[in-house]
Amino acid sequence: MTRFRTTEISDPDYESNDLRFITVKTPHLKGRGDICVYVPDMPDATDLPIVILLHGVYGSAWIWSQKAGAHLTAARLIAAGKITPMVLAMPSDGLWGDGSAYLPHHQFDFEQWIVSDVPDAVIENLPQVSDQSPVFISGLSMGGFGALRLGAKYHDRFSGISAHSSITHLDQMTLFIEELVENYRQASKTSESVWGTILENRHLLPPVRFDCGKDDLLISYNSDLHRKMEEAQIPHTYLEFPGKHEWSYWREHLEDTLLFFNGLLTT
């Protein structure tokens, strides 16, 4: 039985490169939400892993595929036998302002849109996945903030977390957005901080990795998060690479995320 009042899914006759598009109506958005999905061409596959990729500010459901070729990276790694076949679910953030921050505000629940609606919509519409599919979460910039925070908070729903060039505190949204950061404020200060959310759930975290470019404007915040996690003896992997806050960096290092998640499936 569907959870959604309405669902639209693209017609295979007009799809290309194994990309599909799903639109569902959900109370969490008080309207419709979009998901771009990469589905390996394996019609008889079942229980494939689901990787949710969250975009940054200014983006939407199309951006991981059309700016980074995320589906092509996954297809190449699958063909080479480097990762098991997996589904990429690339949702919009809810399209509020320059970015929703994947937080509940203004009577919209952008958090539950990602945590609940996106996996449910994918599972309802694709026979290659099911309630038994492992679900991973990743993202870049604002999406890194979402992946780290939601992955830690909803640790029982995710099998692994990976993030690139992450915002680590809500205040850093001011580096990118036109809207006032007060629009996003929550009753709980923990929800504004990746570190606070991780610390609150430190004994329940799924495996975590994150990285940042050495010339990224967010590098100091990422290295500080790494330092705090090290001092608190919270297991994680942190890496720094050459690069800036730009698509060429995320295009390259998405591969690291997919390889990381694949490794978790075999351990």
Q: What is the pTM of this model?
A: 0.97
pLDDT in tens, 5-54: 999 999 999 999 999 999 999 999 999 999 999 999 998 999 999 999 99
pLDDT at 183: 86
pLDDT at 200: 95
Any domain includes 1: no
Going along the chain, which residue ranges are E strands?
A: 7-9, 19-26, 31-38, 50-54, 87-91, 104-105, 108-109, 135-140, 160-164, 208-213, 237-241
pLDDT in tens, 60-102: 999 999 999 999 999 999 999 999 999 999 999 999 999 999 9
Confirm if 199 and 236 have CB atoms less than 8 A apart.
no
pLDDT at 185: 82
Nearest to 37 by CA among 72, 13, 61: 61
Give the range of the structural domain holding residue 138, as residue numbers without chain letter: 7-265
**195-222: average pLDDT:** 97
3 state DSSP class of 88:
strand
pLDDT at 159: 98
**216-228: average pLDDT:** 98
Alpha helix (H) ranges present in 21-137?
A: 63-68, 70-79, 110-112, 118-125
pLDDT at 2: 86
Any domain includes 185: yes
Kindly tell me if the per-residue pLDDT of 123 is higher than 80. Answer: yes
Q: How far apart are CA 152 and CA 254, in angstroms?
A: 20
Any domain includes 2: no
Residue 130 sits in a domain of what CATH number? Answer: 3.40.50.1820
Confirm if 19 and 65 have CB atoms less than 8 A apart.
yes
Domain count of the fold of the chain: 1
Any domain includes 165: yes
